[in-house]
Amino acid sequence: MTTASTATAPLVNNPLMHYGPRMLQRSAAGAEEIEYRRISLCPLTTHIGAEVTGVDLASPVDDELARELRAALLEWKVLFFRGQEAMTPSAHRALVDVWGAPEANPFFPQGDSIEVSRLAKDETTFGHENIWHSDHSFMAAPALGAVLRAVEVPSAGGDTMWTDMYAVYDNLPEGLKERIEGLSAVHDWVPSWGTTMTPARIAVLRQRLPIVEHPVVVRHPRTGRRLLYVNEPFTIRIAGLPEDESRALLCELVLQARIPEYQVRFRWQPGSVAIWDNIATQHYAINDYFPQRRVMERISIAGVPLS
């Protein structure tokens, strides 16, 4: 006979399977409400992701508009724009200046500009981004953000998802927060990007891309808000812990990004643009469109060391 208590119990003892509402704060408690005059925002969720209207990204961004775009990105973590087919590579590059200097991914093919990465995936070139990750976490100063423009998209599939790492941290059990306070994690590119390289090539790149450490919990460099900063492909261990303990803890932490309540999903159209906060979020490019073609152009925004 099934009792009421056993009928509602979890089937497995999984740290991800905690039930009930989650705390999903768009901004830190006590943050000032922002009034937008130049842009309109249509939220895709309550806390992450908003579609922006009233902006032509092909035109120069003046100071007032730049201030609103910066504020909106800090508030919503990911901004989406439709109908930006007229946006040129030079406008793409100029848009990055709203947030900082451009930064090239050391492993991506470059377009007409050294900073522009052209990402073409089709029946001969498979996408491998379908894992939750934060760009450039293997660098001493990880990218602050990125601007991604859709050039060609499949008729179906090829969406991208982002997850809110503020929300991930906010919803960790208090005991787990105490356990990870003050810990650092080791980040490395070799277990992912290095799998297709010769040892000689790895040795050359290692000279300018050494193994780095970042705090497990960082304060965002522009909001000061605390977030969880570990990811599946690039975080390889928790510093100072025995191997088994490090592996178990890291597994529990990285899996938190997979919880749907923390996420937003975007369907691309030609001319769509996404700008994201690469410290406050992780992203996942869904690889479900084979053998159709998907062509994107991206410029990363240079960051600073994290603390």
Burial class (CB in 10 A: 0-12, 13-18, 19+), 262: buried
Q: Is 298 one of the catalytic residues?
A: yes
Cis link prior to 291 (omega < 30° from 0)? Answer: yes
Query: Distances in Å between the alpha carbon of 18 and those of 9, 21, 132?
Result: 11, 9, 21
Nearest to 231 by CA among 270, 196, 191, 194: 191
Q: Give the whole-angstrom CA distance, residue 304 versus residue 296.
A: 26
147 conformational bin, left if phi > 0, alpha if psi -120 to 50, beta if neither: beta
Active site annotation includes 47: no
Is residue 225 within 8 A of residue 166, CB to CB? The reply is yes
Catalytic pick among 47, 92, 133, 294: 133
Assign residue 263 a region (left: φ > 0; alpha: ψ between -120 and 50; beta: otherwise): beta
Rounded Cα distance between 250 and 216, Å, is 10
Catalytic entry in 47, 135, 214, 294: 135
> Has 283 been annotated as catalytic?
yes
d(CA 284, CA 235): 16
- The tally of CA atoms less than 13 A away on the side-chain side of residue 187 is 24
Q: Which of 47, 220, 225, 298 is catalytic?
A: 298
Query: What is the torsional sign of CA 277, 278, 279, 283?
Result: positive
> How many whole angstroms from its chain centre is CA 277?
7
Active site residue 136: no
- Among the options 187, 214, 220, 283, which is catalytic? 283
What positions carry a catalytic annotation? 133, 135, 283, 298
